């Protein structure tokens, strides 16, 4: 059975870069189907790539601070193509990798994931400071709800696909 992985990404020592980590920390696993795994990857992008290499996950939902349209605290959901960036070797940094670098490394290692969604929040402060800025902190609860809904929808989509395949094979 394929699963959904919700991965919080970011560095809690760099202000709003800790957005993804805070969102997954506040998620309630009991509110999610058993096929959804929620994990804090923080700055361990290489570990995330290797986790995905196992082929266990059909959907990856990454949660991170990213430059989306709008003022700081704006949350957006983006669908990401997991194909590698053209002619760009993946930057491997054991202390942090941006979402596309994780996917580029995964592809270079011979893996892939069926669907990749990024729930991003526009940061206000990316400096050596603990804690989220006011607008990003205010966006966390809404992001938790959005990620929870996305994870449920993806799990339901996967289950429907599995049932359709079983009916077709019968």
Phi, psi of 167 (to 5 degrees): -65, -40
Beta bridge partners of 60: 5, 116
Contacts of residue 140, defined as CB under 8 A and 6 or more positions apart, other chains included, come to 19, 22, 23, 26, 132
pLDDT tens across the length of the chain (170 residues): 689 999 999 999 999 999 999 999 999 999 999 999 999 999 888 899 999 998 899 999 999 999 999 999 999 999 987 555 554 444 434 345 678 888 888 999 999 899 999 999 999 999 999 999 999 999 999 999 999 999 999 999 988 888 888 889 87
Q: Give the pTM.
A: 0.88
* Cα distance between residue 72 and residue 7, in whole Å: 21
Strand spans (E) along 3-145 = 3-9, 36-42, 57-65, 75-80, 115-121
> CA Rg, the chain, in Å?
16
Please choose, from the candidates 19, 10, 22, 13, the residue with its C-alpha nearest in 3D space to the C-alpha of residue 72.
19
């Amino acid at each position: 059975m394929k699963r959904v992985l919700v991965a919080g990404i970011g560095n809690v020592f760099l202000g709003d870069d800790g957005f993804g980590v805070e969102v997954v920390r506040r998620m309630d696993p009991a509110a999610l189907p058993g096929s959804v795994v929620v994990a804090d990857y923080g700055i361990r992008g290489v570990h995330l790539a290797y986790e995905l290499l196992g082929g266990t996950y059909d959907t990856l939902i990454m949660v991170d601070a990213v430059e989306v349209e709008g003022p700081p605290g704006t949350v957006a959901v983006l669908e990401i193509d997991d194909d590698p960036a053209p002619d760009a070797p993946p930057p491997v940094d054991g202390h942090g990798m941006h979402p596309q670098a994780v996917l580029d490394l995964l592809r270079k290692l011979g893996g892939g994931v069926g669907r990749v969604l990024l729930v991003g929040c526009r940061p206000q402060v990316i400096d050596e400071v603990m804690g989220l800025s006011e607008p990003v902190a205010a966006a966390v609860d809404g992001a938790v709800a959005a990620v929870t809904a996305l994870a449920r929808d993806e799990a339901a989509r996967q289950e429907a696909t599995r049932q359709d395949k079983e009916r077709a094979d019968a």
